[in-house]
Amino acid sequence: MPPACSRLLPWFAALLLCAATTTSALAQGFPSKPIRVVVTFPAGGAPDILARLFADKAQLGQPVVIDNVPGAGGNIGADKVAKSPADGHTLVMGTVGTHSINGALYSKMPYDMVKDFTPVAHVASAPNLLVVNNDLPVKTVAELIAYLKANPNKLSFGSPGIGSSVHVSGELFKSLTGTSMQHVPYKGRQFAIPDLVGGQIQLMFDNMPSALPMAKEGKIRAVAQTTAKRSAAAPGVPTVAETVPGFEATTWFAMFAPAGTPKDVVAKINAEMQRVFKLPDVVDKMKTLGLEPWISTPDELATYQASEIVKWAKVVKDSGAKAE
């Protein structure tokens, strides 16, 4: 080894030791201020419910504050986190839309769904629930398909935004059934639901945790769920796939941090999420709402996200859906 190189070795070793010590110190001192969890949709939906469950139960030595930042199918809130300091104090409750669908749907993305984030933990998945206005004369998927074919483009389906799983579920339904209907994007489900109840729009593929309670109250009618198998939360509601083979649209929710967040900090957040989302009362709450808990490791989330990006890219391409 050249003498110059040998003289540099101790310097490099010291530099690496310093970096490792700094990272460890960050984790030991984390959190040093309140943790902000950005929810990319308005209050009341499944990602908001999950984020607030974590905020209520977390014991990290600092409060967990929820910040609802809706808009552009979740892109605005997700981008805000992507550009935040990578210190673990700003997180996002990502969705299937913000972290797997939108990259294929939007012609211009403000962030990279993979490169700009550090996976923390997958939290839960859920069916979407096909719900209709009570005055619409359909009670089954077959009846809805027949009605749509007899009345092309006469019905409208709502969503909390372009790129949401609620939107893409509708596009997939149109593609597989050869039907047509108008998509009406809202700035959040709390704006879409009153119009569904009032008849301004006729149907939605809403997240089950949001839609099921309203269906049970008789405000809207549940027709079908979008997963391959019936959810234990609604065993009497058939799946779309029982009528339309191959139809499946599962929505999921997962926590992400900005890219470059130290592994020790991510591990600390993941450990607390593992504890909170396995508490019996939290599990019961999730299952009652139709949410299936799966609290993953960061690596498991990274692998799952990669497979979902491939899957939804095909769905978006086949459906022809696009967003600017």
> Whole domain around residue 174: which residue ranges?
127-242
What is the number of other CB atoms lying within 10 angstroms of the CB of residue 9?
Answer: 10
Distance of alpha carbon 68 from alpha carbon 38, whole angstroms: 6
Higher pLDDT, 268 or 12: 268
Distance of alpha carbon 26 from alpha carbon 89, whole angstroms: 11
Please compute the mean of the pLDDT values over residues 177-198 and round it to a whole number: 93
Assess whether pLDDT exceeds 90 at residue 124. yes
Same domain, residue pair 235 and 254: no
Same domain, residue pair 310 and 175: no
Please compute the mean of the pLDDT values over residues 64-90 and round it to a whole number: 96
Main-chain phi, psi angles of 99, to 5 degrees: -125, 10
Main-chain phi, psi angles of 179, to 5 degrees: -110, 170
How wide is the angle at C-alpha 305 spanned by C-alphas 141 and 168, nearest 5°?
Answer: 30
The verdict on residue 27 lying in a domain is: no
Q: Please tell me the predicted confidence (pLDDT) of residue 1.
A: 52
Main-chain phi, psi angles of 320, to 5 degrees: 80, 5
Q: Please tell me the predicted confidence (pLDDT) of residue 314.
A: 87
Handedness of CA 132, 138, 140, 142 (dihedral sign): negative
Which of the given ranges, 4-8, 158-162, 281-285, has the highest pLDDT on average? 281-285
H/E element holding 3? helix 3-28
Assess whether pLDDT exceeds 50 at residue 90. yes
The verdict on residue 272 lying in a domain is: yes
204, 157 Cβ separation under 8 angstroms: yes
Same domain, residue pair 289 and 147: no
Please compute the mean of the pLDDT values over residues 123-152 and round it to a whole number: 97
User: Cα dist. 52→38, 83, 244, 278 in Å?
Assistant: 11, 23, 35, 15
Which residues are paired to 265 by β-bridges? none
Distance of alpha carbon 252 from alpha carbon 150, whole angstroms: 34
310, 163 Cβ separation under 8 angstroms: no
Beta pairing, strands 292-293 & 64-68? unpaired
What is the number of other CB atoms lying within 10 angstroms of the CB of residue 253?
Answer: 26
CATH code of residue 216: 3.40.190.10
Total domains present in the chain: 2
| Lowest pLDDT segment from 63-67, 167-171, 215-219 | 167-171
The verdict on residue 12 lying in a domain is: no
Same domain, residue pair 105 and 160: no
**Domain boundary residue among 220, 242, 264?**
242
Assess whether pLDDT exceeds 60 at residue 6. no
Q: Please tell me the predicted confidence (pLDDT) of residue 320.
A: 79
Percentage of the chain exceeding pLDDT 70: 91
The verdict on residue 258 lying in a domain is: yes
Assess whether pLDDT exceeds 70 at residue 86. yes
Same domain, residue pair 151 and 218: yes
Q: Please tell me the predicted confidence (pLDDT) of residue 318.
A: 80
Same domain, residue pair 121 and 132: no
The verdict on residue 164 lying in a domain is: yes
pLDDT-derived band of residue 143, with 50, 70 and 90 as boundaries?
A: very high
Assess whether pLDDT exceeds 60 at residue 8. no
Q: Please tell me the predicted confidence (pLDDT) of residue 29.
A: 87
Instruction: Supply the DSSP symbol for 153.
Output: T
**Domain boundary residue among 216, 242, 268?**
242
Q: Please tell me the predicted confidence (pLDDT) of residue 10.
A: 58
pLDDT-derived band of residue 17, with 50, 70 and 90 as boundaries?
A: low
Please compute the mean of the pLDDT values over residues 85-106 and round it to a whole number: 96
Which residues are paired to 64 by β-bridges? 35
Assess whether pLDDT exceeds 80 at residue 141. yes
How wide is the angle at C-alpha 149 spanned by C-alphas 145 and 154, nearest 5°?
Answer: 100
Distance of alpha carbon 183 from alpha carbon 195, whole angstroms: 13
pLDDT-derived band of residue 5, with 50, 70 and 90 as boundaries?
A: very low
CATH code of residue 276: 3.40.190.150
**Domain boundary residue among 191, 218, 242?**
242
| Lowest pLDDT segment from 16-25, 162-171, 277-286, 296-305 | 16-25
Distance of alpha carbon 185 from alpha carbon 189, whole angstroms: 9
Q: Mean of the per-residue pLDDT values for the chain? A: 91
Same domain, residue pair 183 and 288: no
